[in-house]
């Protein structure tokens, strides 16, 4: 399939307008000795029908979460996505537009991002938000860099209850920036507050805490944040925006910067990406934020209009003094999240959060009744929890898999000490019957 | 009681200005499990005492809201979009069908590898295709966008230097480099030194030679460069860098011009990134998601991010974390998979020969438009051009600027070209290969009409746009007094 649409006659006509006799003449600036003389070792082009067969065959070799019952979480969740999300965010005007640098030709997407920023503020309790970053882990890294710039300090304290990918990406970014990372253990499923207090000093630019954290547990932000502020460090909280429908927002605890994974807001699982990096913060950090920010202004007639604001923070203006190198963000995923939040609205988001909480607690209680299974941590949790089993994680999850259930994420890949543990996430999509089947499967292991 | 309308009739209200308390556009089934007491399972200090103030709107009004917003956007599907450096080519619909297949779309990143061999094979094939196009040894699919790829590539280069016991803090870039290049260097804790370009747009080799030293980690270069010129000295540039142990980083933003014609790996490039949303037709989505796969030469393989996708002897695929010299991870999970599925679909649709045809037709289109406009607009660089070209409006006795022309194009239903960069007052035009001759001619006609208008009725150009939903904006106040969220009345 070719997507070019010049006929041979038109090509001749265009060449003659240019005043050359072949396309090759237009390539004359590429020296002969640099030319690739062979054919690319890539198969010949496929028609649309052939292509759909090719990718269809590959897709069919995956067992997907429509056909299986998914209790997997750890940063990616099988939430319900209302039909309006695909329909409205998928409109080709949003799909095939570029970054809205030309405001007059982009009012629709600019207003959409402005509303997105507002709704992210509402869910996080923060004063300002940007128009998205790549995903949760790099958003956390950007937040640490921002905190280091704001405080002129070069140390980041990171709770080990944060997602392992977040911690690893932080290591990669911070190594390059010469920011020292000090890990704080979370032996009981939440950050060890005593250890955190001992680690804190006036060297710390920020403390990164995730809540609900990687284990699903809710951190005591009411106790942690004041301790962080005592040392002049910034509190960076990675959060699940769905939790805003049930738990107090980070903003209510005086958190400085909120980051998070927005995948739960209407973004399909897609084997881990593209997802939606969230960043919100207190207003005083707005000019230090990375990424695009949309602002309201007026046009020449004095009417409300929207444009990219504070572009002087960004790489195309500030170059090496920019707040970040980010250019392309996750606009289309922000559009999905915006439609999701608009459709769910105030009561819908509360219902989603409550159903997750209720069903997760039902599942956890039922699993804990089985011989050989127990909750690994006592800390309160939101929509996922960690189970320790004496029956062998592989056997337990294998028994689920045989029954078409993705029963949980084995945690041994993240931490050897959790070799007998797996994590179970329960969203509003799961029914009581499905949870009961999970119990049967686990009991059969 | 009816409230007083909060905005003028002609404005499109914000979501927050519509709806009514109690409305909701989504429905969930009633709960089928016993509801645990919240305060038995959560400390009361952490339980919200009210719901977040999200909008409350019925489903039809949510649909209309986003439909109306969509009407207020230019897009490739609706408009010619010759935005230089961005390669706004057609986004084939079949790519969307591929990405939406449940077998790709509904996979959890922590599923058993045995259950996801299909997607792993697709990614492996894509990796091989990209390595072939680059002429380089291996590819990581992890970076989320072009700038993220730049950062990843620089980290790989720095890891390489460190492995040789060296620490090199300087990165060179031509004055025409994308802003992301120096910004990515800063992300890696490095500083950028600018290499001069000659008047013909090529790198000044003397300046380059004088700046490359033992502290130079790399040079970042885009070729064809941002003024639309292929720098034929590229192999020599590579030699100059390599002679001092520095690496050549290739910014793949303009790959559309050279697909299948020449390969970066064959002219001395050590690391490059692709922008799948430019070269391989994945949609720009109002500013993302993109994907920025990075290709490296043999000597840099060991530094690639983990996990790296590999094929086992039995033919199955697996994520391999066992690379002790890896730079680590640069994002969560494995990459922008849904975007990469689209890129794969595009490459396999177009095929090996088709990719070269893409580059040739993109070049033809740019040179054709330039030839038609050269009598009315100044072309600072000599043809032939690559896939894009720079032109400067210069009209005697007129103060009409490139910005005015850009805004006037909106009235013609054409998205403005990139403005004012990398040459002062310029317009950077990249038509792409997917446009028809009719569309190119309409653009030419619009540009010629505007040139006439500048001479006959400049006010109409200087006050454009006239047909957009809004007039020209006060962008200064948006930055001076930022209002980045709705706060109610």
Domains of chain A: 8-60 (no CATH), 69-80+347-443 (3.90.1150.10), 83-340 (3.40.640.10)
Q: How far is CA A236 from the centre of its chain?
A: 16
Model confidence over A280-315: pLDDT tens digits? 999 999 999 999 999 999 999 999 999 999 988 888
Say how far apart CA B372 and CA B367 lie, in whole Å.
9
Q: How long a stretch of residues is chain A?
A: 445
pLDDT value at residue B3 = 43
Res B449 pLDDT > 90: yes
Cβ atoms within 10 Å, residue B318:
15
Are B285 and A339 inside 8 Å of each other by CB? no
- B4 pLDDT tier (thresholds 50, 70, 90): very low
Are A108 and B470 inside 8 Å of each other by CB? no
* C-alpha to C-alpha distances, B377 to B287, B391, B450, nearest whole angstrom: 30, 6, 11
Closest residue in A to B305 (Cα) is A172
Instruction: Quote the percentage of chain B above a pLDDT of 90.
Output: 94
Q: Does the interface ipTM go beyond 0.95?
A: yes
Strand order in the sheet with A155-159: A128-129, A277-281, A257-261, A234-239, A204-210, A155-159, A180-184
The answer to whether A170 contacts chain B (CB < 8 Å) is no
CA distance A188 to chain B (A): 16
Say how far apart CA A164 and CA A140 lie, in whole Å.
12
DSSP for residue A88: I
Residue A205, preceding peptide bond in cis (omega within 30° of 0): no
Q: Which of A99-113, A403-417, B2-16, B294-308 has the lowest mean pLDDT?
A: B2-16
Select from A286, A297, A348 the Cβ nearest to the Cβ of B473: A297
Mutate to test the interface with B, among A93, A113, A166 (most CBs of B within 10 A): A93
CA angle A96, A97, A103 (to 5 degrees): 170
Are A108 and B70 inside 8 Å of each other by CB? yes
Instruction: Quote the percentage of chain B above a pLDDT of 70.
Output: 98
Are B135 and A36 inside 8 Å of each other by CB? yes
SS3 state at B200: coil
pLDDT value at residue A313 = 85
Are A44 and B351 inside 8 Å of each other by CB? yes
Say how far apart CA A383 and CA A415 lie, in whole Å.
21
Say how far apart CA B257 and CA B355 lie, in whole Å.
10
Average pLDDT for B276-296: 97
Model confidence over B314-353: pLDDT tens digits? 999 999 999 999 999 999 999 999 999 999 999 999 999 9
- Between chain A and chain B, how many beta carbons pairs sit less than 8 Å apart? 717
Model confidence over A344-396: pLDDT tens digits? 999 999 999 999 999 999 999 999 999 999 999 999 999 999 999 999 999 99
Mutate to test the interface with A, among B21, B33, B328 (most CBs of A within 10 A): B33
Model confidence over B215-235: pLDDT tens digits? 999 999 999 999 999 999 999
**Cβ-based neighbours of A50, under 8 Å, separated by 6 or more:** none
Say how far apart CA B227 and CA A137 lie, in whole Å.
35
Bridge partners of A374, per DSSP, are: A388
Q: Contacts by A9-16 with C-beta closer than 8 Å and gap 24+?
A: A10/B437, A11/B364, A13/B437, A14/B364, A14/B365, A14/B368, A14/B437, A15/B364
Rounded to the nearest 5 percent, the helix, strand and coil shares of chain B are 40, 10, 50
Find chain A residues with C-beta within 8 A of B235's C-beta: 31, 33-34
The answer to whether A322 contacts chain B (CB < 8 Å) is yes
Are B332 and A299 inside 8 Å of each other by CB? no
Find chain A residues with C-beta within 8 A of B151's C-beta: 176, 325
Say how far apart CA B125 and CA B131 lie, in whole Å.
10
pLDDT value at residue A417 = 94
Are A59 and B410 inside 8 Å of each other by CB? no
CA distance B131 to chain A (A): 10
Average pLDDT for B380-400: 95
Are A55 and B262 inside 8 Å of each other by CB? no
> Residue B420: exposed, middle, or buried by beta-carbon count in 10 A (0-12, 13-18, 19+)?
middle
Q: How far is CA B450 from the centre of its chain?
A: 29
Are B52 and A335 inside 8 Å of each other by CB? no
Find chain B residues with C-beta within 8 A of A315's C-beta: 147, 179-180, 182-183
- B139 pLDDT tier (thresholds 50, 70, 90): very high
pLDDT value at residue B5 = 39
In 3D space, the residue among B368, B370, B352, B388 whose CA is nearest the CA of residue B261 turns out to be B352
Model confidence over A29-60: pLDDT tens digits? 999 999 999 999 999 999 999 999 999 999 99
- A231 pLDDT tier (thresholds 50, 70, 90): very high
Select from B78, B230, B288 the Cβ nearest to the Cβ of A331: B288
Find chain B residues with C-beta within 8 A of A320's C-beta: 182-183, 185-186, 191-192
Dihedral, CA of residue B168, residue B173, residue B179 and residue B185, to nearest 10: -10
The answer to whether A394 contacts chain B (CB < 8 Å) is no
The answer to whether A343 contacts chain B (CB < 8 Å) is yes
Taking only residues 265 to 284 of chain A, the set having a beta carbon closer than 8 angstroms to any beta carbon of chain B reads 268-275
Find chain A residues with C-beta within 8 A of B285's C-beta: 94-97, 330-333, 335
* C-alpha to C-alpha distances, B382 to A308, A365, B386, nearest whole angstrom: 34, 74, 11
The residue whose two tokens read 């799961």 is: A430
Where residue B416 falls (left for φ over 0; alpha for ψ -120 to 50; beta otherwise) is beta
Bridge partners of B47, per DSSP, are: A247
Average pLDDT for B440-450: 98
DSSP codes, B168-196 = --EEEEETT--THHHHHHHHTT-EEEEEP
Find chain A residues with C-beta within 8 A of B86's C-beta: 98
Structure tokens given for A50: 């052939």
SS3 state at B9: coil
Select from A308, A315, A432 the Cβ nearest to the Cβ of B179: A315
Select from B111, B281, B416 the Cβ nearest to the Cβ of A102: B416
The residue whose two tokens read 């007083």 is: B4
Helices in A191-319 by DSSP H: which ranges? 193-199, 221-230, 315-318
Write down the domain spans for chain B.
Answer: 91-468
Average pLDDT for B266-291: 97
- B10 pLDDT tier (thresholds 50, 70, 90): low
CA angle A265, A90, B54 (to 5 degrees): 35
Are A76 and B76 inside 8 Å of each other by CB? no
The answer to whether A368 contacts chain B (CB < 8 Å) is no
* C-alpha to C-alpha distances, A118 to A123, A279, B21, nearest whole angstrom: 9, 12, 18
* C-alpha to C-alpha distances, B265 to A35, A112, B137, B284, B364, nearest whole angstrom: 11, 42, 8, 27, 25
Find chain A residues with C-beta within 8 A of B230's C-beta: 29-30
Are B52 and A122 inside 8 Å of each other by CB? yes
Q: Give the number of C-alpha atoms closer than 13 A to the C-alpha of residue A39, restricted to the C-beta side.
A: 10
Find chain A residues with C-beta within 8 A of B62's C-beta: 84, 88, 339, 342-343
**Cβ-based neighbours of B30, under 8 Å, separated by 6 or more:** none
Report which secondary-structure segment, H or E, holds A425.
strand A421-425
Model confidence over B165-192: pLDDT tens digits? 999 999 999 998 999 999 999 999 999 9
Q: Which residues of B366-375 are buried (b: 16+ CB within 10 A; e: fewer)?
A: bbbbbbbbee
Q: Contact, A352 vs B26, CB < 8 A?
A: no
Are B286 and A97 inside 8 Å of each other by CB? yes
pLDDT value at residue A290 = 95
Find chain B residues with C-beta within 8 A of A1's C-beta: 92, 94, 349-350, 354
Res A68 pLDDT > 60: yes
Say how far apart CA B192 and CA A405 lie, in whole Å.
52
CA angle B74, B77, B82 (to 5 degrees): 65
**Cβ-based neighbours of B218, under 8 Å, separated by 6 or more:** B154, B157, B171, B172, B241, B246, B247, B248, B249, B270, B271
CA distance B357 to chain A (A): 8
The answer to whether A10 contacts chain B (CB < 8 Å) is yes
Select B91-468's CATH number: 3.40.50.2000, 3.20.20.10, 3.40.640.10, 3.20.20.70: 3.40.640.10
Say how far apart CA A415 and CA A399 lie, in whole Å.
23
Q: How far is CA B314 from the centre of its chain?
A: 37
Taking only residues 125 to 164 of chain A, the set having a beta carbon closer than 8 angstroms to any beta carbon of chain B reads 125, 127-129, 131-132, 134-138, 145, 163
Are A48 and B51 inside 8 Å of each other by CB? no
pLDDT value at residue A319 = 86
Say how far apart CA A366 and CA B33 lie, in whole Å.
11
Select from B31, B148, B344 the Cβ nearest to the Cβ of A358: B31
CA distance A326 to chain B (A): 6
């Amino acid at each position: 399939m070719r997507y070019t649409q010049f006929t041979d006659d038109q090509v001749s006509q265009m060449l003659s307008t240019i005043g050359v006799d072949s396309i090759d003449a237009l390539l004359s600036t590429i020296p002969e000795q640099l030319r690739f003389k062979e054919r690319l070792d890539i198969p010949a082009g496929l028609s649309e029908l052939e292509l759909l067969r090719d990718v269809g065959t590959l897709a069919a070799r995956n067992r997907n979460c429509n056909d299986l019952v998914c209790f997997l979480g750890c940063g990616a969740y099988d939430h319900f996505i209302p039909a309006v999300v695909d329909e409205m965010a998928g409109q080709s005007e949003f799909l095939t537009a570029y970054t809205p640098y030309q405001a007059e030709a982009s009012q629709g997407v600019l207003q959409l991002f402005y509303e997105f920023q507002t709704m992210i503020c509402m869910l996080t309790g923060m004063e300002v938000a940007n128009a998205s970053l790549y995903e949760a882990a790099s958003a956390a890294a950007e937040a640490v860099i921002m905190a280091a710039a704001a405080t002129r300090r070069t140390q980041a304290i990171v709770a080990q209850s944060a997602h392992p990918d977040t911690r690893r990406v932080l290591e990669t970014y911070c190594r390059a920036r010469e920011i020292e990372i000090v890990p704080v253990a979370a032996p009981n499923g939440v950050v060890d507050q005593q250890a955190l207090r001992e680690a804190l000093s006036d060297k710390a630019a920020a403390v990164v805490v995730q809540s609900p954290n990687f284990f699903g547990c809710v951190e005591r932000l009411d106790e942690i944040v004041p301790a962080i502020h005592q040392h002049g460090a910034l509190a960076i909280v990675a959060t699940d925006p769905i939790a805003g429908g049930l738990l107090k927002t980070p903003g209510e605890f005086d958190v400085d910067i909120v980051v998070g994974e927005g995948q739960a807001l209407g973004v399909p699982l897609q084997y881990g990406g593209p997802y939606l990096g969230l960043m919100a913060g207190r207003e005083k950090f707005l000019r230090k934020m990375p990424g695009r920010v949309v602002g309201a202004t007026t046009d020449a007639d004095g009417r409300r209009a929207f444009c990219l604001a504070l572009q002087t923070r960004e790489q195309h203006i500030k170059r090496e003094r920019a707040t970040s190198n980010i250019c392309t963000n996750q606009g289309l995923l922000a559009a999905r999240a915006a439609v999701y939040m608009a459709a769910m609205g105030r009561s819908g988001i509360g219902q989603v959060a409550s159903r997750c909480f209720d069903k997760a607690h039902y599942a956890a209680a039922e699993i804990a009744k089985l011989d050989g299974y127990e909750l690994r941590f006592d800390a309160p949790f939101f929509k996922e929890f960690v189970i320790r089993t004496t029956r062998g994680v592989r056997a337990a999850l294998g028994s689920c898999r045989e029954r078409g259930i993705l029963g949980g994420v084995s945690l041994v890949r993240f931490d050897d000490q959790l070799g007998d543990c797996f994590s179970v996430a329960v969203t509003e999509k799961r029914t009581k019957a499905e949870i009961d089947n999970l119990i049967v499967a686990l009991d059969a292991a | 009681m009816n409230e007083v309308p909060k905005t003028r009739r002609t404005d499109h209200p914000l979501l927050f200005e519509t709806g009514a308390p109690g409305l909701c556009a989504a429905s969930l089934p009633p709960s089928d499990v016993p509801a645990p007491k919240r305060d038995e399972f959560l400390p009361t200090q952490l339980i919200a005492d009210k719901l977040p103030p999200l909008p409350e709107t019925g489903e039809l009004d949510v649909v209309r809201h986003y439909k109306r917003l969509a009407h207020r956007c230019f897009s490739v599907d609706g408009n010619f979009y010759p935005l230089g450096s961005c390669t706004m080519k057609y986004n084939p619909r079949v790519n969307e069908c591929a990405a939406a297949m449940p077998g790709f779309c509904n996979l959890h990143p922590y599923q058993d590898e045995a259950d996801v061999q299909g997607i792993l094979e697709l990614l492996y094939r894509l990796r091989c295709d990209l390595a072939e196009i680059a002429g380089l040894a291996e590819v990581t699919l992890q970076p989320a966008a072009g700038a993220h790829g730049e950062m990843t590539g620089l980290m790989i280069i720095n890891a390489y230097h460190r492995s040789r016991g060296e620490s090199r803090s300087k990165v060179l870039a031509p004055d025409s480099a994308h802003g992301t290049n120096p910004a990515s260097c800063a992300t890696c804790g490095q500083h950028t030194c600018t290499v001069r370009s000659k008047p013909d747009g090529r790198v000044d080799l003397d300046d380059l030679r004088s700046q490359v030293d033992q502290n130079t980690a790399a040079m970042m270069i885009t070729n064809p460069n941002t003024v639309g010129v292929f720098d034929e000295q590229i192999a020599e540039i590579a030699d100059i860098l390599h002679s001092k142990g520095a690496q050549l980083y290739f910014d793949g933003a303009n790959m559309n011009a050279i697909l299948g014609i020449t390969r970066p790996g064959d002219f001395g490039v050590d690391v490059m990134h692709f922008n799948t949303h430019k070269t391989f037709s994945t949609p720009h989505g109002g500013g993302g998601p993109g994907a920025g796969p990075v290709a490296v030469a043999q000597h840099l393989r060991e530094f690639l991010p983990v996990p790296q996708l590999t094929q086992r002897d039995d033919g199955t695929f697996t994520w391999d974390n066992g690379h002790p010299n890896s730079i680590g991870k640069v994002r969560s999970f494995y990459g922008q998979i849904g975007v990469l599925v689209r890129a794969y679909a595009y490459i396999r649709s177009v095929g090996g020969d088709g990719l070269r045809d893409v580059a040739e037709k993109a070049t033809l289109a740019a040179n054709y438009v330039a030839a038609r406009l050269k009598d009315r607009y100044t072309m600072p660089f000599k043809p032939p051009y690559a896939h894009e070209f720079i032109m400067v409006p210069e009209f005697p006795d007129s103060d009409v600027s490139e910005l005015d022309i850009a805004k006037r194009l909106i009235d013609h239903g054409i998205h403005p070209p990139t403005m004012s960069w990398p040459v002062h007052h310029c317009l950077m035009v990249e038509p792409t290969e997917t446009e028809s001759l009719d569309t190119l001619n309409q653009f030419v006609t619009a540009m010629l009409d505007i040139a006439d208008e500048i001479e006959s009725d400049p006010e109409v150009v200087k006050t454009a746009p006239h047909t957009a939903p809004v007039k020209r904006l006060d962008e200064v106040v948006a930055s001076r007094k930022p209002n980045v969220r709705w706060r109610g009345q």
